[in-house]
Chain A
Amino acid sequence: METLEQIKNRAELAARGAKIDIVVNPGPSGQSSLLLDNEHAVGVATFLRDHPALGFDFCSNVTGVDWLDRVVKKTIKVKQIVDGVEKEVDQTTEEKIPGYLESVYHLFSMKLKHGPLVIRMRAPNRNDAHLPSLTPVWRSAELQEREIFDLYGIHFDGHPDLRRILMWDEFKDHPMRKDYVPPDDFEWEPTPHDEVLARAKQHYPPRPQLDGAEKITSHSDVATPNK
């Protein structure tokens, strides 16, 4: 397989105006990924599938990831003059990264037997997340994108049949989000209890209001009002 830089350059040449970034994976697996811009994602994906030297005809896995707002601390050594002597001092900078929703695609080639190529797309607005659907390019994304829509709430524009798949249709929230709070009672449904109670109050006469003195003096009278 070609290196990520080569694939990136090829794709940027083929799809005019496409901007692709490389997201470096610091772990030992070394599976770095390409970050596509949402506008040109379908064009780039089609190119990756159809180009004879790349031939990523098999989209294996589609994953949704939720990233909340976070602060990344970076420590850099800076040269500073302290008391007239130049010294290296640690300087920590805090970078605020706003939250986003992400969909990650793992691509393989069945023809050329290479892979994985990891591509990802990011939806910055977590409240109304929209991403282009890659189902027209790889049919295997159909059920998996439906699952991400269900569990993460990313709307895939261009998906042929975007419905809830694992949760029931009446369910409101997206349970795989990191800030999801499960309800206290999953089986709560509005019951007529309160209305029934109000009608009951109208129907039955109010209980006699008794002051404390009666209670103490004539116990038997209070207990049997018919007497």
Chain B
Amino acid sequence: MSATLETIEAMERPPVTMSSRLDGELLEVSMGPQHPSTHGVFRMNVALEGETVRKLKPVFGYLHRNHEQIGENTTYLGSMPYTDRLDYFCSMTNNWAYALSVEKLAGIEVPERAEYLRVILAELTRLQNHASLLGFLLSDMGAWGTPLMYAFREREKILDLFESLSGSRMMCDYMRFGGCRVDASEEWLAGAKQIVDRFPKFLDEFEELILQNEIVIARTQNVGKLAADLAISAGITGPMLRASGANYDIRKVDGYGIYPRFKFRIPLGDHGDTYDRLMMRALEMRESVEILKQALPQIPAGPIVNPKVKVRAFRPPVGEAYGRIEGPKGELGFYLISDGGPNPYRYRVRPPSFINLTILEDMCLGHVVADVMVILGSVDIVMGEVDR
């Protein structure tokens, strides 16, 4: 990666106003790829003046395995388990986004019970993703261990549900084109209801302990501000966009699946700083609990998969489709081009956490280097999805 360093060196340097230890020289620090707060193998070339960030260039590709090409060389169904590995925290929503795109491509209907199961599992995924993100973020700030373990205690209950349903905690491979793979029993639904009913208690405790903590407020408020118009132009989606005040939730806008049937609110931030992004996750978890409380008693009996869909020799008609859902990290989309064969001609993943990193430099400039970790943590990235 020597050329990257050269590029930073060749760039024009800003006029130095304050005297620093290096007599006006910028100090170049390579943060990562093994830094514990980079959430995987991710590197940032940071140019520092004293402790202040003057330049920041993210370096990607350490986890690149050309997911998209592997998808082009595999059958449509063969890619389904591989989508679990994109964002390995949220395999259920990855499955859903891919299944939704293929259903658009081939014109497949989904039975009602499967739609309910999808909503329930997607919202459970959102709960566990947001809970563990808050834990990781506090861990990055130096609250080592305890908040993360509080969050993981709740997350583990949800992963147990996933395991009992799909056979795997994280790599669920649960959705199919036109439905879901296995049906949920009455006991499973009762267990899910119990966990959902107890979840607000955890949220109350977590918010009281952490989100009103003086140190957390000092480290996050007015740090990493992101204006709404820049966020929209840079394609930022998900909680990060809504923390800047832009009202855009694909569950409301597209109304995919059966989301229009449920009553829920979209929390919006005022300042677009790290604290708002933190609060956005906490508030979204409460709304997810609301959706789950409505969906779990309503779920109808019936088939869970469309029987007309071919499992073997599945060949969608010639055409293309872009399908997207509101994943926990933002807009997760799949763009597929079919030439009528058993494999997609083009299989493209629109990864939210990759595109949310576009404005990482803009958010970090002018802050001290310790804030970079907090800002990066609030973006919520998973390297499996960023590098693909």
A residues engaging B (CB < 8 A)? Answer: 25-29, 31, 57-61, 63, 65, 104, 106, 110, 113, 116, 118, 138-144, 151, 163, 165-169, 175-176
Contact = CB atoms under 8 A, between A and B. Distances in A.
B358 A139 contact: yes
A143 B354 contact: yes
Secondary structure type dominating chain B contacts: mixed
A28 B234 contact: no
Interface of B: 1-4, 7, 60-61, 64, 66, 68-69, 104-107, 230, 232-237, 246, 248, 253, 316-322, 324, 331, 333, 335, 337-338, 345-346, 348, 350, 354-355, 357-359, 387-388
Contacts of A175: 66, 69
B109 to A, nearest CB: 11
Contacts of A142: 234, 358
Given A142-B358, A169-B1, A31 B230 contact: no
A118 B233 contact: no
Contacts of A29: 104-105, 107, 319-322
Nearest to B333: A61
A166 B319 contact: no
B69 to A, nearest CB: 6
Given A27-B106, A58-B232, 12 more contacts: A25-B319, A27-B320, A28-B319, A58-B248, A61-B350, A65-B346, A139-B235, A140-B234, A142-B358, A143-B358, A169-B3, A176-B68
A177 to B, nearest CB: 10
Contacts of B333: 60-61, 106
Contacts of B4: 163, 169
A29 B323 CA distance: 9
A166 B61 contact: yes
A169 B237 CA distance: 29
A146 B10 CA distance: 19
Contacts of B246: 110
Given A29-B105, A106-B335, A139-B359, A58 B235 contact: yes
A57 B229 CA distance: 9
B64 A143 contact: no
30 contacts: A25-B320, A26-B317, A27-B316, A27-B317, A27-B318, A28-B107, A29-B105, A29-B322, A57-B232, A58-B235, A60-B237, A60-B350, A63-B346, A104-B335, A106-B350, A110-B232, A138-B235, A139-B230, A139-B233, A139-B358, A140-B234, A140-B236, A151-B68, A166-B61, A166-B388, A167-B61, A169-B2, A175-B66, A175-B69, A176-B69
Nearest to B345: A65
Contact of A28 (B7, B106, B235, B350): B106
